[in-house]
Amino acid sequence: MLETKPMRSGLSEEEIYLFNNGSSYHSYRFMGAHLAQEGGVTGVRFAVWAPNAMEARVIGSFNRWDGEAHRMKRIGTTGVYELFVPGLGEGSLYKYELITPDGAAVRKADPFAFLSERRPGTASVVTDLSGYDWGDADWLRTKSKTSPYQHPLHIYEVHPASWKIKGKELFYTYDELADELVPYAAEMGFTHIELMPLAEHPLDQSWGYQVTGFYSPTSRHGDPKGLMRFIDRCHRHGIGVILDWVPGHFCKDDHGLRLFDGTPLYEGNDPNRAELPLWGTLAFDFSRREVVSFLISNAIYWLDVFHIDGLRVDAVANMLNLHMDKPPHMHTYNEFGGRDNLDALRFLKKLNETVFRYYPDTLMLAEDSSAWPAVTSPTYQGGLGFNFKWNMGWMNDSLRYMALHPDDRRHHHQLITFSLCYAFSENYVLPLSHDEVVHGKRSLLNKMPGSYEEKFDQLRLFYGYWMTHPGKKLLFMGGEWGQFDEWKDSDMLDWMVLDYDSHRMMRDYVKALNHVYLDLPSLWERDRDPECFQWIDVHNAAQSVISFIRRGQSSFSVIILNFSRNDYRDYRIGVPEPGEYRIVLHSGDIRFGGKETRASASYKSDNMKWHGLGQSISIHLPPYAFLLLALQGDTH
């Protein structure tokens, strides 16, 4: 963990060697600005990597932004400059003034800054991260003994700047989010909160995915210790925290990493590789060893200093594919003539190996839309080394299916069943993320066809399918009550719709569904094991009905889903054991906005073979119904 005493002045040869060699995984401990002592005098020691700069100076509020008196010393041929400035303390604004090879002066924010001036300001801020008194020892101890594979994982994805706000650009502080968001997520039955990127970024509309301050928690919500308090509060409520992390690219703002010392440094020399035209950003040069040190140290920094429980690594497919989202004239090839970015491949493997070496209980989730094999297999088995991957195929197929007119679904039955052909090839998370409710895609509720009432019926049905399908879960904020409008990143969620019964009851349903998920080991205990899933009937395209069994170590659940608008009064399905089957949850329960008053009914099995099983039950299956049943007496 971070030291609590002032750091000594001067960088060691070993530290710089490891940084230059791509093997420094704690670079934040000596690069950037640190409180230090030299000759008994307290001040700040600065260190910056700018190998092609002719000269480097520290400028700031303490010298009226004139660095003439604060020229930095170049350390041999390492490309690192350092300077100790006596008398400085926390809160000092600063930048580096670098003289480029052509004699121009550029002013850059510190790539290792722990805090940045609130936008539109662009200066870095001297900050001491030591001294926070963490109270999450019990959480860390429990986490170290708990496998994420055999336990529930249900993630609430949150954009902190729009979950709630107090007015235009009046964002909730980290402490206010701790007071409201944390108990809300715990009450709703989520196991983790995933925060969209918190690294400092100049443009609100980038949602944090175009970064200038990779080590700097955004000052929109307060200071770094406020973020520590938020995470600590999460852990004390039994909630893990995942951070969206963006190692693939960075934005072009002048104070950022672009042409940092007057030359392509972080982005590499070939503009066809560096430029990402779809996003207007620059890709990191993963062949540069100092860049590897910078990025892997950044991942370790969030885990070490802030006790983050996991990183959702953004845009893995774009990192791996040299051609993705680029016109043909920008295509480049690796040394073997292929389109795979071999440097990015090596980086991702090294990243995961390093993270798990230091923090073996971390969640490393790949946001990957490609068909790259073995993403969640260990690197020693030829995999990329992540432990979870977003299942983008399931998401695309299932949402496309749900958007169909109910009468057309029977012609596209494979969209709702095909995912089981590959559901056990990786450790999957089933994401219903922010990407699916913006840019004209409509909200989840508004993707559903039919009348206003039918939209709610079908969204409850879809959530039942999502929750009982093999794989861990992720839901974007607002989805829990059926946000009707698309996500508006500049305004807060439409909390006022909870004044309406339909939305309030939808939230009640999602809360009940979440807690059923947490309580039923059959829904998460064996997610990667093909034996955890058994089709009862996969072929009933004519009626748009599917049914299956989910099995845990010692229990099972029976799931029936009717994706049609037809009412089936005596629908018979096979069941694996004799006995009485109780309805654990019914999406059509009147409590949740449906019409069923007998949503807690039970069904005694008949000694009649059906669907290849020795027993069967006859049930009432209303339109757009999801039913989850368990054998009576099963305490699980």
Catalytic center residues: 314, 367
Please name the helix (run of DSSP H) or strand (run of DSSP E) that holds residue 582, with its range, or none.
strand 580-586
Q: Give 110's Cβ-side CA count (13 Å radius).
A: 34
Amino acid at 222: G
Amino acid at 342: L
Asked whether 330 and 262 are in contact (CB, 8 A), the reply is no
Amino acid at 49: W
Helices (H) and strands (E) in the chain — how many of each?
Answer: 14, 32
| Distance between CA atoms of residues 483 and 492, nearest Å | 11
Which is nearest to 370 in space by CA: 432, 312, 310, 323? 323
CB under 8 Å to 440, separation ≥6 — which residues?
Answer: 486
CB under 8 Å to 367, separation ≥6 — which residues?
Answer: 312, 313, 314, 315, 316, 390
| Distance between CA atoms of residues 240 and 303, nearest Å | 12
User: Greatest CA separation found in the chain?
Assistant: 92
User: Looking at 61-198, which runs of residues are DSSP E strands?
Assistant: 73-74, 80-86, 93-99, 105-108, 124-125, 154-158, 165-167, 170-171, 192-195
| Distance between CA atoms of residues 445 and 505, nearest Å | 14
Amino acid at 199: A
Residue 5: CB atoms within 10 Å: 9
Helices (H), 308-442: 316-320, 342-358, 392-402, 414-417
The structure tokens listed for 441 are: 């895609």
Residue for token digits 């490609």?
370
Asked whether 422 and 554 are in contact (CB, 8 A), the reply is no
Amino acid at 423: A
The structure tokens listed for 255 are: 């104070």
Asked whether 625 and 588 are in contact (CB, 8 A), the reply is yes
Which is nearest to 84 in space by CA: 125, 128, 45? 45
The structure tokens listed for 158 are: 């949150």
